[in-house]
Structure 1
Amino acid sequence: MTESPTTAAETPMARSPRLDATDLALIAAFAALIAVCSYLAAIPIGGAGVPLTLQGFALLLTGALLGPLRGTAAVVLYLILGIAGLPVFAGHAAGPGVFVGVTAGYLWSFPLMVLVVGLLVKYVLRGRRTNPLLVFAACVVGVVINHVGGIIGMAVVLRVGLLEAAAFDAPYWIGDFIKAAVAAVVASQVHRAFPKLLARRA
């Protein structure tokens, strides 16, 4: 029995890997970018001493450029490297103990933050992802997720109320909005130059 043209055309796609070599290279590159940005401008501010870094910029850019699957994979790879002992977290920290420290809530929120930004940019914005204002709006959602996670984490670790934890977190909002704006401009220009970047299966 001969195979129908439709079946023959679908078979290679069905057998193809979800992530190809290009996807894996992008995941590794953006995991490295997040790690590098965690070192840059690592200045402790606020009552809880959580360091201010460029990590938020890298995370937002990762979600906006790689989309939900590859973006989340890059963040998970970054976190695994830190758990394994590589000093990729802010302040050259490493190890599983960081995930129960004062910054734990921020770290735990990273995958969800990037996943949501990736979903919004890829599936909600679609052809409008070259608009920096719309990409900025998607990034702001990611910033909110990150801060909510950070506030909850500080409240648990420091054994304080949510309002007090929110006061510790407050100094970081303006900086993160600036990072979101820069990430939106960069991402929108990249999507303008490479319109099929998120057209991939990932």
Structure 2
Amino acid sequence: MTTRDLVLAALFAAIIVALGLVPPIMLGFIPVPITAQSLGVMLAGVILGARRGGFAVFLVLLLVAIGLPVLSGGRGGLATFMSPTAGYLVGWFFAAVITGYCSERFVEHSQSGIVQITGFFLAALLGGVVVDHALGVIYLAYVTGTGLSTAFIGDLSFVPGDVLKAMIAALAGRAVMVGYPLLPQRA
């Protein structure tokens, strides 16, 4: 990785941490809060690509592991990786990598704006919603002992908001592609 790659990854790690300042919303029927940080994960993948986006999320998870309160609600520390939300947290890394990989494959500079937005949206949906939710549901079902179907039904409450976040990430990805042509290729 070049110095520029490290700086961009650190910038997006900071964006993810800053989105953690938005207070979490607890639903009561599932022990996982609604947070704004998953938007940052999708943005990292869409804008930076698989390698740099994954590294940005890895930096955030490293900050969590060493005990800094960078998650929404001021959470942090190794105990966070044993909580019911751990599947979603670990899923962030894979979500950023898959989102970045798909955006690298689906979107090119020569495409029209609507095609680029659609490609970014599909990439964010696949990585940020499907992959992250799948890992989160599997771990949630395991930790709570409720079963996959119950965890999946509880997880459905997050899908509309995450689809909206995927659209925001797609629009931001398109804006960055048009507004910052000197930004190195997503990779």
TM-score calculated relative to the size of structure 2: 0.91
Q: Which residues of 2 match residues 44-63 of structure 1 at below 5 A?
A: 44-63=26-45
Larger deviation, residues 46-55 vs 167-176: 46-55
Quick check: 1:160 aligned with 2:140?
A: no
Q: Which letter maps to 1:63? A: G
The correspondence for 2:108, drawn from 106, 122, 126, is 126
Cα distance in 1 for residues equivalent to 2:112 and 2:159 = 24
Structure-2 change in CA distance of 1:95 and 1:179 (3 Å):
same
The runs of at least 4 consecutive aligned structure 1 residues that moved more than 4 Å come to none
Deviation at 1:91, TM superposition (A): 1.8
Q: Which residue of 2 aligns with 1:101?
A: 83
Quick check: 1:175 aligned with 2:161?
A: yes
Instruction: Find the residue that maps to 1:52 and give its secondary structure.
Output: coil
Quick check: 1:23 aligned with 2:5?
A: yes
Larger deviation, residues 19-28 vs 101-110: 19-28
Quick check: 1:68 aligned with 2:50?
A: yes
Considering only CA atoms, is the larger Rg found in Structure 1 or Structure 2?
Answer: 1
Are the aligned partners of 1:129 and 1:188 in contact in 2 as well (CA < 8 Å)? no
Q: Which letter maps to 2:106? A: V
Q: Which letter maps to 1:24? A: L
Deviation at 1:172, TM superposition (A): 0.6
Instruction: Find the residue that maps to 2:29 and give its secondary structure.
Output: coil
Instruction: Find the residue that maps to 2:26 and give its secondary structure.
Output: strand
Cα distance in 2 for residues equivalent to 1:28 and 1:159 = 37
Structure-2 change in CA distance of 1:192 and 1:46 (3 Å):
farther
Cα distance in 2 for residues equivalent to 1:43 and 1:49 = 11
Aligned residues: 183
Cα distance in 2 for residues equivalent to 1:189 and 1:41 = 27
Q: Which residue of 2 aligns with 1:7?
A: none
Cα distance in 2 for residues equivalent to 1:89 and 1:129 = 37
Q: Which letter maps to 2:117? A: P
Q: Which letter maps to 1:45? A: L
Instruction: Find the residue that maps to 2:73 and give its secondary structure.
Output: helix
Q: Which letter maps to 2:21? A: Y
Q: Which residue of 2 aligns with 1:192?
A: 178
Cα distance in 1 for residues equivalent to 2:95 and 2:183 = 20
CA RMSD of aligned residues (A): 1.6
Quick check: 1:136 aligned with 2:118?
A: no
TM-score calculated relative to the size of structure 1: 0.85
Are the aligned partners of 2:41 and 2:92 in contact in 1 as well (CA < 8 Å)? yes
Deviation at 1:98, TM superposition (A): 0.8
Q: Which residue of 1 aligns with 2:134?
A: 148
Q: Which letter maps to 2:82? A: V
Q: Which letter maps to 2:140? A: M
Deviation at 1:199, TM superposition (A): 2.2
Structure-2 change in CA distance of 1:172 and 1:101 (3 Å):
same
Deviation at 1:21, TM superposition (A): 2.1
Cα distance in 2 for residues equivalent to 1:55 and 1:165 = 21
